[in-house]
Amino acid sequence: MVEYIKDFKWEKGMSTKEFVKQLGSIGYQSIELRKSAEAMAKMKREGAKIFLTFTSNMVTSGLRGFFAQIIEKGLAQVCVTTVGGIEEDIMKADGEKFMVGSFHSDDFENHENGLNRVGNVLVDNQSYMKLEDKLLPILKKLYAKKKNWTPSELFKEIGLMLNDESSILYQAAKKNIPIFCPAITDGAFGFHLYLFQQDHPDFMIDVVGDFKNIVLSTDHNEKKGVICLGGSISKHHAILATLLNGGAEYAVYMTTAKSSSGSLSGATTQEAKSWGKIKDDTDAVTVHGDVSILFPLAMTLTLEILDEEGLLE
Amino acid sequence: MVEYIKDFKWEKGMSTKEFVKQLGSIGYQSIELRKSAEAMAKMKREGAKIFLTFTSNMVTSGLRGFFAQIIEKGLAQVCVTTVGGIEEDIMKADGEKFMVGSFHSDDFENHENGLNRVGNVLVDNQSYMKLEDKLLPILKKLYAKKKNWTPSELFKEIGLMLNDESSILYQAAKKNIPIFCPAITDGAFGFHLYLFQQDHPDFMIDVVGDFKNIVLSTDHNEKKGVICLGGSISKHHAILATLLNGGAEYAVYMTTAKSSSGSLSGATTQEAKSWGKIKDDTDAVTVHGDVSILFPLAMTLTLEILDEEGLLE
Amino acid sequence: MVEYIKDFKWEKGMSTKEFVKQLGSIGYQSIELRKSAEAMAKMKREGAKIFLTFTSNMVTSGLRGFFAQIIEKGLAQVCVTTVGGIEEDIMKADGEKFMVGSFHSDDFENHENGLNRVGNVLVDNQSYMKLEDKLLPILKKLYAKKKNWTPSELFKEIGLMLNDESSILYQAAKKNIPIFCPAITDGAFGFHLYLFQQDHPDFMIDVVGDFKNIVLSTDHNEKKGVICLGGSISKHHAILATLLNGGAEYAVYMTTAKSSSGSLSGATTQEAKSWGKIKDDTDAVTVHGDVSILFPLAMTLTLEILDEEGLLE
Amino acid sequence: MVEYIKDFKWEKGMSTKEFVKQLGSIGYQSIELRKSAEAMAKMKREGAKIFLTFTSNMVTSGLRGFFAQIIEKGLAQVCVTTVGGIEEDIMKADGEKFMVGSFHSDDFENHENGLNRVGNVLVDNQSYMKLEDKLLPILKKLYAKKKNWTPSELFKEIGLMLNDESSILYQAAKKNIPIFCPAITDGAFGFHLYLFQQDHPDFMIDVVGDFKNIVLSTDHNEKKGVICLGGSISKHHAILATLLNGGAEYAVYMTTAKSSSGSLSGATTQEAKSWGKIKDDTDAVTVHGDVSILFPLAMTLTLEILDEEGLLE
């Protein structure tokens, strides 16, 4: 069936749902955006296990509470991220606030003011210092239980100690959704683990154990979907875990990276077709652009569709 | 006043207006998107002459009817574009329909099927052939009036002959908004002008005359705003015309191009500050990404704001 | 025949030729770069008419003298560019010098110092003023000959008046290579044409005549190659002219633009295959990256190959 | 002192060294490329500890042997990478060969042929299977020594068992250069560690121990330089380690990522200035583009400079 390009027209009071639907008839990335929304709805409708991956800078942003909401609504059964995002989720659950800044602010001045610039978001260095005060007693409590922890076990315990509906760790812990973080030491968190290990030499983070956990989090017979926001090892790890289980049936990638350099961060879902499980072009969608706009936009349509179908948790 | 990053949360039935407002607290390009919406509203509120520039591929897409609507609502007083967009606006006013395709369709096959692929939009080659039948009688009629035409005069006459509320040329002609196209021969339109000139050697397109027209379309005392969608000579020409009149007070750029290659297509509004007229950081905004998503999204908030303020025409 | 990835190794005193050859076994864009060098050599070897397109910012850079050299060596039979490049070629032939600057210099300060920043290149505003003094007498002299000029005729006459081996216009004029510029008014040049037309109302720039000239610059039977550096209407115009003559047999594109937005600037040579004339994958090569590095690197190998084969002029 | 843009001219037999020097006067990224070469030479000349980071796809490419050579010549004192690169270095040391492919090959067909496509490089799936046969006896041997290994200890032991001058692990082991890999399980290597741990439950990979090792690999008083090729956690980890030691004095980044999304992969050395240690603009250089071309090009000049100064090992 041929679909035609349609002129977009503004209508007063237009809902976001209607807006995204209309994007599907404009052209270029707008078409892919609508397709991605439908592919994400289909993953849930068909009962796929959904692997959601995102990078730290997205948790620095206001997507953090949205990820928590998505987990709560049942749209992610496995999460993979980098450790900066874990840290900042905890900071925010503890009341820390990040500021709207500018891409062009003076970095010497930021340095003098004790501000850490992440694009156009500013983080007070104090927030990192308070993290230490927060983490130490937690690590002590956990160490008292046992010496050897996988990252996902650790995050679940921490999640249970938080009390913030907008926290990724909190919602994931409540719903028993594992959060994997294959490079747990690559951040302030790693520094605190190192300090703790200095005093408790038998304290051990077992990353190999978590590789087992993610590989066994699904199986060949289960339908699988991957939603990869940005690139990095988060994306790579989820794809690897599903491939070891026969490949995913659905894939949505949103990225600013290009495929021309051969990096996985820039790899598109075209390549995903080589996994041999994707049957329909509409089930593998790449949208090029900034996740801070694309993801809430597409996911809003997904949520509205699933809500109508009574499929949200 | 410090603004804070806020967790985005989906609410059932959320309006696009509310959605874009919330983008302003997420981070990265989402913040810039909201700023761009507000800068565009401010241009209108402050009575600036607005130069809107866009490229042909955007007219190929469903943004075409949106541009027409924006002109009709009084949000563009001068337009600059490339000639492919002019052609396709006429084709569409004549009933031609373009199709939703795929970035990955087989180009050999498209060729055999007489389809011209523009990203994920497909145009039937027949549409270009019908254009010839359409243009020839028009050129004859205009030639009967006079021999020497500037592009903007030509487009106005054509616009008056169309009868399509969604046509850019039609709405611009009705509102007496000039459409400039500094490279009028760079497309099928150019080919038809050439054929016509073969039979009518004294038929002349006066591009220098149109340079005069765009330079005199504003002056030093008038407030000026530029909304540049994509790069290309459309962007360059509008910036040049405003610079020759002392520079613009407001600038919104939306682009996928990078500034690292020194091209104007990728130049950001940072550079625009060197014009010396922009007083406030919030008046010069660059948003990186695909215009097919960014522009309708931002402009929807702009239209809602101006509608509330009674400033739409 | 299978080619293998080979470990690159530095050798003291390695020639650029050897370097580019080795790039062909590294991976990603390096492979495409070597292929592009070979495709450009093949165009010449097979006697194709070569359309070379570049944008103004490249003439701002030191590629300007290289383009002149390439024309002189017989590697371009038709040039297409934007008018900024024409202006700057003339300025430089007149002794103007541009400066190495920084992408991050303060644009307010540049403005105060009368400097125009193009990426990390700085142009003194005085250079533009001197252009006026240069152009006026030229236009007067040409006007005395006839009233109606196509851009390519104009540039040829100007080229003959320059005396700089490194000038594009000079070398092109000497070798009778046409330079097309479909948007001749989009720059300071346009402003001077406008001022001149004010005083000489029957002075006319005939862009339609130049469309005829580029269409008739080749024919269906001649082999054709396009080398498109950057995007813009330069690229579009050369592709259009070759398509109207049945399509090119060879195509090399170098660009930082992405294909995801449907713009021709970002279109790759994959699409070029749909023209139906390209027989071999190795004849259509896209290299992603900055032309200021890619082009001299690839073209050096091309020149060395052709020099060995005695095919340079 | 003002530097001027100079016309690039091809000279027959031009050396790569001379070529890169001339790039410094062209414009845009070519200028940054030459600056990066000089900054890398300066790091060595001033006795800085150099942190070299790269991503897996670069080891898939022929840059692998170049990294080994650079380590051997004394231009990297600490390496950080992702685990895919470790795997492929071992495969290649074992005689595996990767093939030159195409970005546009059919991925379904590749899948059927047992080929894994990484951009335009093809890897036979057999290569991954042989890795298992290689790794298992190594892990057994190491386990016999002790139960608890940090990744860098593991890689050193493996490096000592290889016998390939072009191997990164081999050269690093020989020169006692640590290779850090904060996400050691994110690849086939992780899968084999997991299988091994199933049979040897007390086998433990101690990533926290390696965080200690990288933090203590330098100190506040030592001069430090970072050369970050591509983004990913490799880049992040090296920056983190130097920041915990007061920040680096020199930084060279080469990347295709953009800063507009707030990811560290796209962060430029502008931001690096906020560390407070970089004194001179010329000591912090970002070059945008594909590392497969940029790095061997810039590093060739670096090596020639240092060779002349007798500073290569």
Rg (CA), chain B: 20
Partner residue opposite C28 with nearest CB, options A27, A29, A261: A261
Q: Which two tokens stand for residue D8?
A: 């690039």
Q: Do D191 and A209 touch (CB under 8 A)?
A: no
Please tell me the predicted confidence (pLDDT) of residue A129: 87
Residue pair A97/A133 in contact (Cβ under 8 Å)? The answer is: no
Partner residue opposite B29 with nearest CB, options D28, D29, D260: D260
Kindly provide the b/e burial profile for residues B189-216, where b requires at least 16 CB atoms within 10 angstroms of the residue's own CB. bbbbbbbbbeeeeebbbbbbbbbbbbbe
Specify the CATH number of the domain D30-95+147-308: 3.40.910.10
Number of Cβ pairs < 8 A linking chain A and chain C: 17
Q: Which residues of D are catalytic?
A: 277
Confidence label for D109 from pLDDT (cuts 50, 70 and 90): confident
Q: What is each CA distance from D44 to A235, B255, D300, in whole angstroms?
A: 35, 40, 14
- Choose from C28, C260, C263, C270 for mutation: most chain A CBs within 10 A: C260
Find, in chain D, the residue whose alpha carbon is nearest to that of A111.
Answer: D274
Q: Which two tokens stand for residue D202?
A: 């007390």
Taking CB atoms and an 8 Å cutoff, what residues of chain C touch D121?
5, 27-28
How far apart are the CA of D6 and the nearest CA of chain C, in angstroms? Answer: 5
Taking CB atoms and an 8 Å cutoff, what residues of chain D touch B261?
28-29
Q: Which residue has the tokens 């922009």?
A: B278
- Choose from B233, B239, B256, B286 for mutation: most chain C CBs within 10 A: B233
- What average pLDDT does this structure show over D115-137? 91
Q: What percent of chain C has pLDDT over 90?
A: 83
pLDDT tens column, B280-301: 777 999 999 999 999 999 999 9
Write down the ipTM of this complex: 0.96
More confident residue, D267 or C306: C306
Residues from D contacting B (CB-CB < 8 Å) are 27-29, 258, 260-262, 288
Q: Do C5 and D303 touch (CB under 8 A)?
A: no
Closest CA to A63 of B290, B27, D264, B289: B27
Does position D37 have pLDDT exceeding 80, yes or no?
yes
d(CA D124, CA D115) in angstroms, rounded, equals 5
Residue pair D116/D96 in contact (Cβ under 8 Å)? The answer is: no
How far apart are the CA of C179 and the nearest CA of chain A, in angstroms? Answer: 32
Please tell me the predicted confidence (pLDDT) of residue A112: 86
pLDDT tens column, C33-42: 999 999 999 9
Find, in chain B, the residue whose alpha carbon is nearest to that of C110.
Answer: B274
d(CA D9, CA C67) in angstroms, rounded, equals 9
Please tell me the predicted confidence (pLDDT) of residue B80: 98
- Choose from C7, C57, C270 for mutation: most chain D CBs within 10 A: C7
d(CA B56, CA B132) in angstroms, rounded, equals 18
Q: Do D185 and A236 touch (CB under 8 A)?
A: no
- Choose from D4, D6, D7 for mutation: most chain C CBs within 10 A: D7
pLDDT tens column, C135-182: 999 999 999 999 999 999 999 999 999 999 999 999 999 999 999 999
How far apart are the CA of B203 and the nearest CA of chain A, in angstroms? Answer: 35
Q: Which residue(s) pair with A118 in the sheet?
A: A121
Partner residue opposite C185 with nearest CB, options B84, B194, B207: B207
How far apart are the CA of C313 and the nearest CA of chain B, in angstroms? Answer: 31
Find, in chain C, the residue whose alpha carbon is nearest to that of B110.
Answer: C274
d(CA C250, CA C254) in angstroms, rounded, equals 14
Which chains does D contact via 3+ CB–CB distances below 8 A?
A, B, C
Please tell me the predicted confidence (pLDDT) of residue A107: 82
d(CA B267, CA B254) in angstroms, rounded, equals 10
Task: For strands D115-118 and D121-124, give the pairing.
Answer: antiparallel
- The catalytic position among A44, A156, A235, A277 is A277
Taking CB atoms and an 8 Å cutoff, what residues of chain B touch A34?
none
Taking CB atoms and an 8 Å cutoff, what residues of chain D touch C267?
none
Amino acid in position A185? T
How far apart are the CA of A2 and the nearest CA of chain B, in angstroms? Answer: 7
| Domain B47-95+132-292 sits in CATH 1.10.10.10 | no
Closest CA to D242 of D45, D44, D77, D69: D77
Taking CB atoms and an 8 Å cutoff, what residues of chain A touch B24?
100
Q: Do B57 and C264 touch (CB under 8 A)?
A: yes
Q: Which stretches of chain A drop beneath a pLDDT of 50? A: none
**A28: left (phi > 0), else alpha (psi -120 to 50), else beta?**
left
Find, in chain A, the residue whose alpha carbon is nearest to that of B103.
Answer: A28
Q: Do B231 and C108 touch (CB under 8 A)?
A: no
Find, in chain B, the residue whose alpha carbon is nearest to that of A166.
Answer: B7
Task: For strands A49-53 and A78-80, give the pairing.
Answer: parallel
Taking CB atoms and an 8 Å cutoff, what residues of chain A touch B69?
9-10
How far apart are the CA of A309 and the nearest CA of chain C, in angstroms? Answer: 33
Residues 6+ apart with CB under 8 A from C230: B261, B263, C53, C54, C55, C57, C58, C254, C255, C256, C257, C265, C291
Q: Do D97 and C289 touch (CB under 8 A)?
A: no
Find, in chain C, the residue whose alpha carbon is nearest to that of D101.
Answer: C3
Average model confidence (pLDDT) for chain D? 94
Residues 6+ apart with CB under 8 A from A202: A147
Q: Which residues of C are catalytic?
A: 277
- The catalytic position among B175, B223, B277, B279 is B277
Q: Which two tokens stand for residue B282?
A: 């919030």
Q: Which two tokens stand for residue A19?
A: 């807006």
pLDDT tens column, B127-164: 988 998 999 999 999 999 999 999 999 999 999 999 99
- CA angle, corner D108, sides to D102 and D110, nearest 5? 50
- DSSP states of chain D as a string? ---B-------TT-BHHHHHHHHTTT-THHHHHHHHHHHHHHHHHTTPEEEEE--HHHHHTTHHHHHHHHHHTT--SEEE--HHHHHHHHHHHTT---EE--TTS-HHHHHHTTEEEETTEEEEHHHHHHHHHHHHHHHHHHHHH-SEE-HHHHHHHHHHH---TT-HHHHHHHTT--EE-TTTTSSHHHHHHHHHHHH-TT-EEBHHHHHHHHHTTS-SSS-EEEEEES-HHHHHHHHHHHHTTT--SEEEEEES--GGG--GGG--HHHHGGGS----GGGEEEEES-HHHHHHHHHHHHHHHHHHTT---
Q: Do A292 and B16 touch (CB under 8 A)?
A: no
Number of Cβ pairs < 8 A linking chain B and chain D: 17
Residue pair D230/D60 in contact (Cβ under 8 Å)? The answer is: no
Residue pair B300/B18 in contact (Cβ under 8 Å)? The answer is: no
Does position C281 have pLDDT exceeding 90, yes or no?
no
Three-class SS state of C103: coil
d(CA A272, CA C268) in angstroms, rounded, equals 21
Domain residue limits, chain A = 47-95+130-292
Residues 6+ apart with CB under 8 A from C146: none
Please tell me the predicted confidence (pLDDT) of residue C267: 78
- Kindly report the number of other CB atoms within 10 A of residue A157's CB atom: 16
Q: Do D231 and A118 touch (CB under 8 A)?
A: no
How far apart are the CA of D245 and the nearest CA of chain A, in angstroms? Answer: 12
Q: Which two tokens stand for residue A302?
A: 């997904």
How far apart are the CA of D310 and the nearest CA of chain B, in angstroms? Answer: 35
Taking CB atoms and an 8 Å cutoff, what residues of chain D touch B294?
none
d(CA A8, CA B70) in angstroms, rounded, equals 11
Half-sphere exposure of D241 (CA within 13 A, CB side): 32
Residues 6+ apart with CB under 8 A from D113: none
The fold of C39-93+147-308 is: Deoxyhypusine Synthase (3.40.910)
Q: Which CATH superfamily is domain A47-95+130-292 in?
A: Deoxyhypusine synthase (3.40.910.10)
Q: Do B99 and A4 touch (CB under 8 A)?
A: yes
Q: Do A258 and C261 touch (CB under 8 A)?
A: no
How far apart are the CA of D293 and the nearest CA of chain C, in angstroms? Answer: 5
Half-sphere exposure of B102 (CA within 13 A, CB side): 14
Using H for helix, E for strand and C for coil, what is the string for B60-127?
HCCHHHHHHHHHHCCCCCEEECCHHHHHHHHHHHCCCCCEECCCCCCHHHHHHCCEEEECCEEEEHHH
Find, in chain B, the residue whose alpha carbon is nearest to that of D32.
Answer: B260
Q: Do B28 and D260 touch (CB under 8 A)?
A: yes
* Burial category of B176 from C-beta neighbours within 10 Å (exposed 0-12, middle 13-18, buried 19 and up): exposed
Find, in chain C, the residue whose alpha carbon is nearest to that of B278.
Answer: C108
Which chains does C contact via 3+ CB–CB distances below 8 A?
A, B, D
